Amino acid sequence: MKKFASLAMALIALTGFASAQTIKIGTIQPLTGAIAVYGKNVTNAVQLAVDEVNAAGGINGKKVELIVEDDSFKPDNTVAAFKKLATKDKVIAIVGALTSNCTLAITSLAQGAQIPLITPTSTNDKVTTAGNYIFQACYKDSFQGKVVANFATSTLKAKNVGILFDNANDYSKGLKTNFEATFTASGGKVSSESYATGDKDFNAQIAKIKASKPDALFLPDYYNAVSLLAKQIRAAGITVPLLGADGWDDAVGTDNADLVGAYYSNHFAKESASSVAKSYMTAYSAKYGYETDALAALGYDATKILLGAIAAADKAGKLTSPGVRDALAATKGSFVTGNISFDANRNTVKSAVIVQIGATDDKKLFTKFVATVNP
């Protein structure tokens, strides 16, 4: 890894960025595989942000070129994509990756190569620990897990919660751990059962959870697994409220009636009164023909934050990786998913929302805003 880091740094030193007429940035997303819908939506949002900047004249007259890499939700592919972007494409910074396990596979590489990396959606608490070139545009699992646990306690008045989680997924495990710590600290009881990524039959775990007589169930996973879980939970006769996190977002728009009434934490609500959010939602729908989701909104914000930092560094005559890193750290502004700044560890300081899933007369799911939770 040291040889690769030295090579990448040497390439940066040789080429420089201040004299370039095109500024290259990369993004790594799962455009194929189990969660390709997330990758497509986030990539669309990243491209939208780049297109808007270029349409306005670029960054101080320089056009932005976006290079997109597919990691198929596989960490090994994320590593290969990062190395290509760093050594062949010579990008100045990267937006990505999407999932925590994929992002964690490249944070040390990005830090070693001194390439600023901002993940829009990887919420794991360990993401930024690799060093000062790594940023999160989303809130952390510790905050999200706490938000859902407090909602379960204060609003649902739950005393006993069952958790079904993916023991091979950093995102799912992190949320489970942080929810459990907060909920039990308030006097609640937790019963948990695990499964493996890709499992389709959860009936054995559900039977054990049902025996604990929970007041609610927490399902910290992505929408595809959650949809299967919800069907089997309801088929088992469990009628208590279901709780989730931001990975649920693309479950809406389906006809999965078993999710109606469930709650989950998210990064923004479409009912947002923010003019920035409304402008983005209109632009996204006009360009792609369907509505944004919250993860795409984070992709847009991450890219806007990065491009703003690049512009600031360039204007100051410091269009270098350290210059962009320093400008990123100084970010403070209003974005689609809220007011965003970074703390000393390059984690965002921002609010979360709780939304509830409803259904239209033709059984299509939608979300409605319930509450905002500040850090």
What CA–CA distance (Å, rounded) separates 84 from 295? 25
Whether the ω angle into residue 97 lies within 30 degrees of 0, i.e. cis, is yes
Q: Which of 309, 373, 370 is nearest to 341 (CA)?
A: 309
- Are residues 156 and 65 both part of a single domain? no
Q: Is residue 110 part of a domain?
A: yes
What confidence score (pLDDT) does residue 223 get? 86
Q: Is residue 347 part of a domain?
A: no
What confidence score (pLDDT) does residue 5 get? 46
What CA–CA distance (Å, rounded) separates 328 from 313? 9
What CA–CA distance (Å, rounded) separates 345 from 129? 8
Q: Which of 176, 175, 172, 225 is nearest to 198 (CA)?
A: 225
Q: Which of 112, 59, 106 is nearest to 82 (CA)?
A: 106
Q: How far is CA 338 from CA 127, 139, 145, 373, in A?
A: 21, 11, 19, 12
Q: Take residue 282 and report the two structure tokens written for it.
A: 């209109």
Asked if 180 contacts 272 with a C-beta cutoff of 8 angstroms, the reply is no
- Are residues 133 and 149 both part of a single domain? no
What confidence score (pLDDT) does residue 134 get? 98
> 19 is in which domain, residue-wise?
2-138+273-342
Q: Is residue 348 part of a domain?
A: no
- Are residues 367 and 317 both part of a single domain? no
- Are residues 61 and 101 both part of a single domain? yes
Q: Is residue 100 part of a domain?
A: yes
pTM for the whole thing? 0.83
We report the CATH number of the domain holding residue 75 as: 3.40.50.2300
Q: In what order do the strands lie in the sheet with 338-342?
A: 332-335, 338-342, 348-349
- Are residues 35 and 124 both part of a single domain? yes
- Are residues 284 and 253 both part of a single domain? no
Torsion of CA 325, 88, 41, 260, to 10 degrees: -80
- Are residues 261 and 291 both part of a single domain? no
pLDDT digit string (tens) for the chain, length 375 residues: 444 444 444 444 334 444 458 999 999 999 999 899 999 999 999 999 999 999 999 999 999 999 999 999 999 999 999 999 999 999 999 999 999 999 999 999 999 999 999 999 999 999 999 999 999 999 998 899 999 999 999 999 999 999 999 999 988 999 999 999 999 999 999 999 999 999 999 999 999 999 999 999 999 998 889 999 999 999 999 999 999 998 898 777 556 889 999 999 999 888 876 899 999 999 999 999 999 999 999 999 999 999 999 999 999 999 999 999 999 999 999 999 999 999 999 999 888 899 999 988 888 888 899 988 876
Look up tokens 């806007």; give the residue. 304
Neighbours of 55 (CB within 10 A): 8
Q: Take residue 157 and report the two structure tokens written for it.
A: 């008045």
Give Rg (Cα) of the chain: 21
What confidence score (pLDDT) does residue 351 get? 86
Number of domains observed in the structure of the chain = 2
Backbone angles phi, psi at 292, to 5 degrees: -70, 160
What confidence score (pLDDT) does residue 18 get? 41
Question: First CA to last CA across the chain, in angstroms?
Answer: 36
- Are residues 148 and 133 both part of a single domain? no
What confidence score (pLDDT) does residue 366 get? 86
What CA–CA distance (Å, rounded) separates 243 from 262? 6
Q: Is residue 85 part of a domain?
A: yes
Q: Is residue 52 part of a domain?
A: yes
Backbone angles phi, psi at 20, to 5 degrees: -70, 140
- Are residues 153 and 211 both part of a single domain? yes
Backbone angles phi, psi at 297, to 5 degrees: -60, -40
- Are residues 217 and 306 both part of a single domain? no
- Are residues 125 and 197 both part of a single domain? no
Q: Is residue 279 part of a domain?
A: yes
- Are residues 367 and 247 both part of a single domain? yes
